[in-house]
Homo-oligomer: A and B are copies of this chain.
Amino acid sequence: MKCKIHAETIERQMERNWPSGVKKTRQRTEIFQILAAAGKPLTATEIYRLINESREGKPYAFSTIYRCLQTFEAAGMLIRSIAVTDENAMYELRMEQHRHYAICLSCHERFPLRTCFLGDLRQMLPADMDGFEITGHQIEIYGYCPACAQ
């Protein structure tokens, strides 16, 4: 929101990725914008803070945040995940090309990995799991980022 250069691309992103079945409300729009502006996974609490600290008047309720995120997830607009090294769910707008992250154990920052190098995931399934229907996967690398490594 601070960066006007991104403002219209977020608008466009919203137009393109907002299913017609999902009603637009002030709260939902702002949550979407926060996520789009962040460009990385956020927790519900982070979203709550980000959205309410830039507002005067009554803050949006936590239940609203959670319900919107559930709606978005059900509509396929975002992906909910939990990092190995973390406690809480994180929410990230679904991208054309999905991403994985390197996560710093110290500062908890998430650095997007270059690409998903995984070849044929089916290779990794055991022999008797031929019937397993793969719908997704996740890779995480964790350790210490350059800043924290010292």
Q: A residues within 8 Å of B by Cβ?
A: 81-84, 86-87, 89, 100, 102, 104-105, 111-115, 117-119, 121, 123-126, 129-146, 149
- The answer, among B126, B139, B142, for a CB contact under 8 Å with A139, is B139
Do B117 and A123 touch (CB < 8 A)?
yes
Query: Known contacts A82-B84, A124-B139, A131-B146; can you find 7 more A-B pairs with CB under 8 A?
Result: A82-B87, A111-B129, A117-B123, A132-B143, A136-B142, A138-B139, A139-B139
Nearest neighbor of A80 in chain B, beta-carbon distance: B84
Given A82-B83, A124-B113, A137 and B142 touching (CB < 8 A)? yes
Complex CA distance for A139 and B131, rounded to whole angstroms: 20
